[in-house]
Amino acid sequence: MGFEHKSVLLNETIEGLNIKPDGIYVDGTLGGGGHAYEVCRRLGEKGSIIGIDQDEAAIEAAGIRLKDFGEKVTIIRSNYCDMKSKLQEQGIDKVDGIVLDLGVSSYQLDTADRGFSYREDAPLDMRMDRRQKMTARDIVNDYSEMDLYRVIRDYGEDKFAKNIAKHIVAARGKSPIETTGQLTEIIRASIPMKYQKKSGHPAKRTFQAIRIELNRELEVLKNSLDDMIEILNPGGRLCIITFHSLEDRIVKSAFKKNENPCTCPPDFPVCVCGNVSKGRVVTRKPILPSEEELEYNSRSKSAKLRIFERS
189-204 pLDDT tens trace:
999 998 887 778 899 9
For residues 172 and 249, membership in a common domain is answered with: no
Whether residue 101 is annotated as binding a ligand: the answer is yes
For residues 281 and 293, membership in a common domain is answered with: yes
Q: Is residue 141 part of a domain?
A: yes
For residues 224 and 296, membership in a common domain is answered with: yes
Q: Is residue 5 part of a domain?
A: no
pLDDT at 196: 84
pLDDT at 105: 80
For residues 192 and 227, membership in a common domain is answered with: no
User: Which pLDDT tens digit goes with each residue over 256-295?
Assistant: 999 999 999 999 999 999 999 999 999 999 999 999 999 9
pLDDT at 194: 86
Q: Is the pLDDT of residue 226 over 90?
A: yes
What percent of the chain is predicted at pLDDT more than 70? 98
Whether residue 200 is annotated as binding a ligand: the answer is no
For residues 225 and 257, membership in a common domain is answered with: yes
Number of domains in the chain: 2
Whether residue 149 is annotated as binding a ligand: the answer is no
For residues 158 and 279, membership in a common domain is answered with: no
Domain boundary among 159, 189, 214: 214
What is the largest distance, in Å, between two alpha-carbon atoms of the chain?
Answer: 66
For residues 77 and 135, membership in a common domain is answered with: no
Please tell me the pTM assigned to this model.
0.94
Whether residue 34 is annotated as binding a ligand: the answer is yes
- Those residues with Cβ within 8 angstroms of residue 121's Cβ, 6 or more apart along the chain or in another chain: 112, 179, 180, 181
For residues 181 and 269, membership in a common domain is answered with: no
- What is the CATH number for 56? 3.40.50.150
What percent of the chain is predicted at pLDDT more than 90? 88
pLDDT at 1: 42
For residues 175 and 221, membership in a common domain is answered with: no
**Full residue range of the structural domain in which residue 18 is found:** 10-107+217-310
For residues 103 and 16, membership in a common domain is answered with: yes
For residues 15 and 98, membership in a common domain is answered with: yes
pLDDT at 299: 83
User: Which pLDDT tens digit goes with each residue over 100-143?
Assistant: 999 788 778 888 899 999 999 999 999 999 999 999 999 999 99
- What is the CATH number for 161? 1.10.150.170
Average pLDDT along the chain: 95
Q: 33-55: buried (b, 16+ CB within 10 Å) or exposed (e) per residue? A: bbbbbbbbeebeeebbbbbbbbb
User: Which pLDDT tens digit goes with each residue over 151-175?
Assistant: 999 999 999 999 999 999 999 999 9
For residues 166 and 192, membership in a common domain is answered with: yes
pLDDT at 103: 79
Q: Is the pLDDT of residue 5 over 80?
A: no
Q: Are 205 and 147 in contact (CB under 8 A)?
A: no
Whether residue 51 is annotated as binding a ligand: the answer is no
| Distance (Å, whole) CA 310 – CA 230 | 8
Whether residue 35 is annotated as binding a ligand: the answer is yes
Whether residue 173 is annotated as binding a ligand: the answer is no
- Those residues with Cβ within 8 angstroms of residue 234's Cβ, 6 or more apart along the chain or in another chain: 310, 311
